Structure 1
């Protein structure tokens, strides 16, 4: 893996304590293989939310509410998050998880395509999380960028690895041929490579990499 397991475990230990709901969600992710950002990255989502005093968050892809739960832990009671999910059962699970944590009243649960849904929300978002189909990351960024104020951030998951291997993504970013790696999921890596190239080309955003979990590309709007 791109991030050593010992480092990931250490980051989790140093980071914020999980609660009962998060522990159960982590257990479910491990048992089912459903991808989540994990507690080390979750702690960073909570931290970033607090550092920005973020009041509004939009998620492109929410699964069963794991990242949304971490975001909400970093907000005050006036904060709001919009969850989007194409799988209605996962969205119902997200609602139940946030209800158990006492956060459901601060959440909007939207079933459908996030890129279509965001057009209905013509208001600023302090943070946007992109975690939908990898080949649509650029489309997601373009759909939300005008609604991110100066100082706000766009966070993209899988900036190191995902259904693909790190070596595949690295080869693409360096201009090489991922076919040499033999990764059957190279198309997903191409989507991430295209996204990283795109956000780096947008002068209004400054992008850095957080190398935990499967990697976060954090793009801050600077003007």
Structure 2
């Protein structure tokens, strides 16, 4: 799935080097493979755990959580008194996420919010230590703008699919980001390019690209 982003050998090494998956993650991976459900995968998952631990994250908010895969990896790197907010428009997927967290005995460290994440975040006070943007690609910038006032200096914003995905053409994103006109670009490709352009020129964010999985744009809020 990600061989066009990083060589398969590097991806294999990353999987061997990262934190050992537990029984819940193995079950999640099996479910994703069986259903053809896109997740960040264990290579990016390991990064989520490491970043959560490095940032000493107490509060994390996700724009789009699916069945809880990325949130679970975050939780593995967080302290017992920390909290992650999962949001998902698909109620069945959100219930699956709750079941996985309950199976791991950490459901009390999470909120499971059904509905539009951009509206849900309005109900939460900041600051958030980490925010994951993984909702509709054409709404990435809208998601970040909705949470900007709830970030602190040092907060991290991670945006998945910054390089590719099924509906994203990497060459189109590059061309759009370079200011070229691409009439055939998909709405998703335009959304990713719009987001990357926004964080690149943002006066409060420093952004770099993590070339793992399908690409993660990592932004940190300046002092």
> TM-score, normalised to structure 2's length?
0.95
Structure 1 runs of 4+ aligned residues shifted over 3 Å read: 176-179
Instruction: Name the residue aligned to 1:174.
Output: 178
> Gapped runs of 5+ residues in structure 2?
none
Residue 63 of structure 1, CA deviation: 0.3
Aligned to 1:222: 222
Shift of residue 48, structure 1, vs aligned partner:
0.3
The CA deviation string for residues 101-140 of structure 1, in whole angstroms up to 9 with x for no partner, is 1211100000000000000002211000000000000000
Which residue of structure 1 lines up, in the alignment, with residue 68 of structure 2? 65
1:40 to 43, 46, 49: 43
**2:88 alignment partner, one of 76, 80, 85:** 85
SS at match of 1:90: helix
Q: Does 1:99 align with 2:102?
A: yes
Distance in 1 between the 2:11 and 2:162 partners? 16
Alignment coverage as a number of residue pairs: 219
SS at match of 2:62: strand
Map residues 42-57 of structure 1 onto 2, 5 A cutoff.
Answer: 42-57=45-60
Q: Does 1:9 align with 2:48?
A: no
CA drift at 1:178: 4.0
Equivalent of 1:113, from 87, 111, 116?
Answer: 116
Q: After the TM superposition, which residues 99-178 of structure 1 pair with which residues of structure 2 at under 5 Å, given as runs?
A: 99-163=102-166, 164-178=168-182
State the TM-score, normalizing by the size of structure 1: 0.95
Distance apart, 1:177 and its partner CA: 4.3
The CA RMSD over aligned residues, in Å, is 1.2
How far off is 1:193 after superposition?
0.4
8 Å CA contact 1:72, 1:81 repeated in 2: yes
For the residues of structure 1 that align with 2:172 and 2:28, how far apart are their CA atoms? 29
Asked if structure 2 preserves the Cα contact closer than 8 Å seen for 1:2 and 1:166, the reply is no
Which ranges in structure 1 are unaligned for 5 or more consecutive residues? none
What per-residue deviation string (whole Å, max 9, x for no partner) do you get for residues 168-195 of structure 1? 222222233445xx66xx2201100000
